[in-house]
């Protein structure tokens, strides 16, 4: 479950050393954004129209292959950043990618709870997650542009964002699993109040007709919950990525390529939460570290090589400790 292969991580760390210590300032051409959005759109179309055109159960082997492919695509774009903008930009991209990938693991486990609660058949789960990821990309783009604009206009908000992340990290360290009933949430009560719904599935359709009346199926309700949980997680992850880079292009690209691989990661890890008992602790420490980094960046910007090393070390230690704990218990 090592997110960045060691050779790639070493290259990025070495490249990041070339930075002067401050965040990079990219010269974005008129074609950079269209190309990035075009690549993301093409990858989404390939996924939904070719790879997952027919509803089917995604087994572990397929999920592992797809997860490796998505991670490879994300790392490949890091090399594109290195070639196009230099080592410092590539380092910031990899830092943002690693942070987003790490913090998204909790999102994966929440999806597992939602699908289990609403009894969504395994063969329909990918379609829900596809549209969930599509919505997440659009929301992250808005969040990132707004966040960068706020920080650029009011630099002192770096301290506020940093303290918020530190608080979130401490809260995550203190929080243990509690009962979560999605259907009893305020969002679901509002959904059923304003959207005519049925409890019956109609394949992987979001809407169906019953007695001539158009009704939402349970899949639409689950999609709404998936989008809501992504907004909640974005409140933490977007400021965390902005602690690494002040460039909207880098922030969105790192978020986007990390998020694209979440569906495969879900099918790979959804049933393995109990195996990684120290992962939540590790994520809490990462959030706290990034919060401190963002707070002090008002006065001093920590080199990206240091950030990547610390985050990678925390993630590795939490995973290894979890595996060893499970082995000794068994």
In the numeric block, which tokens belong to residue 320? 């290894």
For the stretch 108-120, pLDDT in tens is: 877 887 888 788 8
First to last CA, the chain: 20
140 vs 172 pLDDT, higher one: 140
For the stretch 49-76, pLDDT in tens is: 888 888 888 888 898 999 999 999 999 9
Q: How far apart are CA 294 and CA 240, in angstroms?
A: 8
CB atoms within 10 A of CB 142: 12
Q: How far apart are CA 208 and CA 218, in angstroms?
A: 10
List 153's β-bridge partners, or say none. Answer: none
Model confidence pTM above 0.75: yes
For the stretch 207-237, pLDDT in tens is: 888 888 888 888 888 888 888 888 877 877 8
Nearest to 112 by CA among 63, 75, 65: 63
Q: How far apart are CA 289 and CA 245, in angstroms?
A: 15
What pLDDT does residue 4 have?
45
């Amino acid at each position: 479950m090592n997110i960045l292969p060691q050779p790639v991580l070493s290259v990025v760390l070495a490249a990041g050393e070339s930075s002067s210590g401050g965040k990079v300032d990219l010269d974005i051409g008129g074609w950079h954004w269209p190309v990035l959005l075009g690549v993301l759109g093409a990858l989404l179309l390939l996924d939904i129209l070719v790879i997952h055109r027919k509803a089917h159960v995604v087994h572990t082997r397929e999920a592992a292959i797809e997860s490796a492919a998505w991670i490879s695509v994300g790392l490949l774009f890091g090399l594109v950043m290195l070639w196009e903008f230099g080592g410092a930009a590539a380092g910031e991209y990899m830092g943002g990618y690693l942070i987003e990938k790490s913090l998204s693991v909790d999102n994966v486990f929440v999806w597992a709870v939602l699908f289990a609660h609403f009894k969504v058949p395994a063969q329909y789960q990918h379609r829900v997650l596809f549209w969930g990821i599509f919505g997440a990309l659009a929301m992250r783009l808005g969040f990132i542009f707004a966040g960068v604009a706020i920080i650029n206009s009011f630099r002192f908000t770096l301290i506020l964002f940093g303290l918020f992340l530190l608080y979130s990290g401490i809260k995550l360290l203190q929080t243990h699993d509690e009962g979560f009933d999605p259907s009893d949430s305020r969002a679901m009560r509002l959904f059923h109040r304003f959207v005519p719904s049925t409890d019956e599935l109609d394949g992987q359709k979001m809407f169906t007709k019953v007695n001539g009346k158009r009704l939402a199926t349970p899949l639409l309700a689950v999609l709404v919950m998936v989008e809501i949980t992504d907004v909640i997680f974005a409140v933490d992850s977007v400021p965390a990525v902005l602690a690494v880079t002040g460039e909207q292009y880098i922030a969105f690209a790192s978020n986007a390529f990390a998020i694209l691989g979440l569906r495969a990661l879900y099918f790979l890890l959804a049933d393995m939460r109990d195996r990684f008992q120290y992962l939540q602790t590790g994520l809490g420490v990462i959030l706290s570290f990034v919060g401190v980094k963002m707070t002090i960046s008002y006065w001093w910007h920590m080199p990206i090589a240091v950030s990547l090393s610390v985050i990678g070390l925390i993630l590795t230690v939490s995973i290894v400790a979890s595996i060893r704990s499970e082995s000794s218990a068994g």
